[in-house]
Amino acid sequence: MRIVPLLTAIIVTVTLYVLIMERQALLAFARGEPAVTEADTTALPAPDSTEMKAIAQDLVRVVVQTTEAREIDSAVQLRGETEAARQVDVMAETSATVISEPLRRGSFVEAGQALCTLAAGTRPAVLAQAEANLLNAQAQIPQTEARLREAEARLDEARINDNVATKLSETGYASDTRVAATQAAVVSAQAGVEAARSGLETTQAGIRGAEAAVAAAQKEMERLVITAPFAGLLETDTAELGSLMAPGATCATVLQLDPIKVVGYVAETQVNRVTLGALAGARLADGREVRGRVTFLSRSADPQTRTFRVDIDVANTDMSIRDGQTADILIASAGKRAHLIPASAMTLNDAGDLGVRVLGAENIVTFKPITLLRDTTDGVWITGLAPREDLIVVGQEYVIDGVKVLPTYREASHTPDGNDAKTSEISQ
């Protein structure tokens, strides 16, 4: 077949071309070196350039940015929700039928305003009977006091007679029988006094019982009108007209929304940074921002999450903030000096510690652990560095501690709010 000689001729031609025309590339390939063409030779840097120095010293090129510490407000960030300052289910304390028209949910009620009125039934008659019993018991006081005074007078008389009889008996003018009779009269008079005092105490006890019955009847009458314990909004309708209320039945639910609480839970690692009275702000889910102060910091951690409750009181005069809205919370804390760096500059060492790599003397790389304070759109705020550091922002993943590198410096000027205004690179 003619195709075999043709293929053989093509293979021989290609082999001769490689051996003669591409001899240098072939030798480089055989030695495991990259092939250098004439075009590549023209693109190589000058022998005295920085790139050639790096190649000659086998240095890794990195990009370095100088960063300086700045004073920042180290706020504590939390996520929480709004909560009514007070919420009460107003319940009935007696059993009766509702005779008042219901108030509808969303209505504003003042403290002491009637929410539900119950039928009186026989309670007025019970009160009248208790008052009559009280008057009857009070009317018996003068009689029992008179009996007591009469018994005391008889006792005084018996004592006088006994004294006279005793003296006459000593002089022989009275018999022993008379003395014994007068002494018996004294004992009898003393018993009469005790009986009169007991009668008086019984009458006074009856008065106190009657007064208690009157107070109970009056309290039962007061329970017929169920009032709002504080000013707020009705979360539910009040009990419907004609419904039967039993003790413990709910008349209505009242919410106090001014001031309203913003509640969050702070981790145990940051709880010491929160203090009572500290300024705080919150951004609600609808974008509104509110401000207030910390009014409560729990001393006991939640057993499930190991976090501590924080309450912030916020003014809500127009009642526009509702109970249960999600909120992002910032609580002011003591300021710190920190560095704003790109998030991409952070790395991990072999032990898994979070940190950055910085440039030391003679361009030697050093790993420094850091503490992350806050994540923002402009970068991350960190602590743990010197007031001024040369931070490796590109190439930090390819070097380790003690390695000498060839840096390219990037200078960044910052606006007052921390945004980069311009960036330029200067090769050393």
pTM: 0.55
pLDDT tens per residue, range 235-291:
999 999 999 999 999 999 999 999 999 999 999 988 988 999 999 999 999 999 999
pLDDT tens per residue, range 95-108:
999 999 999 999 99
Which has the higher per-residue pLDDT, 379 or 12? 379
Q: Tell me the domain boundaries of the chain.
A: 1-43, 62-72+336-427, 77-86+255-331, 120-223
pLDDT tens per residue, range 285-312:
999 999 999 999 999 999 999 999 999 9
Q: How far apart are CA 194 and CA 395, in angstroms?
A: 108
Q: How far apart are CA 241 and CA 97, in angstroms?
A: 8
- Per-residue pLDDT at 162: 79
- Per-residue pLDDT at 366: 92
- Per-residue pLDDT at 141: 86
Superfamily (CATH) of domain 77-86+255-331: Efflux pump adaptor protein, beta barrel domain (2.40.30.170)
Percent of the chain with pLDDT over 70: 85
CB 277 within 8 A of CB 292: no
The CATH code of the domain at 62-72+336-427 is: 2.40.420.20
